Amino acid sequence: MDGLLTVRPVRRSDLHQLALMMVELHRHLELPPSPATPALLEAQLFAEHPPLACLVAERGGALVGYAAYCDLYNSDYMAQGFWLCDLFVEPGGRSGGAGRALLAELSRLAVDQGRVSIWWGVHRSNIRAIGFYDRIGAGDFKVDLRELETEALQALAAEARGLASDSAA
C-alpha cells in the first residue's frame, strides 16, 4: 500500500478497471456475473443525465476501490440523499483507508449539496464490511431490503397492465 491515497470522480480512462472491480465485487459476494463493461459504464456515467455517479480511490497511480451512488429521496426528512449502490476496495487495499476515504468524500458531497443522508445495503454474509460500517458510525436500521427483478418485476407489471385494461373496458 505504497503511495498517497486520493479520491476523485471517475474518468473515462478508469472504465476498464472499474468494470473489472464490479465483476470482482459480484464474484466476492457470490452473485451472478456483473454485466458491467466499459461501454455500458460510459453510457451510464457520462450520459446527459447520468443515472449513476462514481468516485474512485487511487493509490500510486492505480485504482484500489470505488463508490458507485445515485440520487435518493428520504421521505423521513422530505429531502434528498444518496443511495450507495456499491462500495468496493481491492483485496490488497483493504484496511488501508480507501473505503473510509471514499465514504468521507461521498459524505462531503452530500453535505455540500444539502443532502441529508446516505443509505445502502450490506449482505449479511459480509461480516468484515458490517464491522467497518459499525466503526464509522453507520446506523443499523434493522430493515430487510427487498428487490423486484427479472421475472417477478415483469409479472407484477403485467398485473398492472391487466388492471389498466380492465378499467378501460
Fold designation for 5-168? Aminopeptidase (3.40.630)
Confidence (pLDDT) at 164? 67
pTM higher than the cut 0.85: yes
pLDDT at 43 over 80: yes
Q: Are 7 and 89 in contact (CB under 8 A)?
A: no
For the chain, what is the mean pLDDT? 92
CA distance 135 to 148: 31
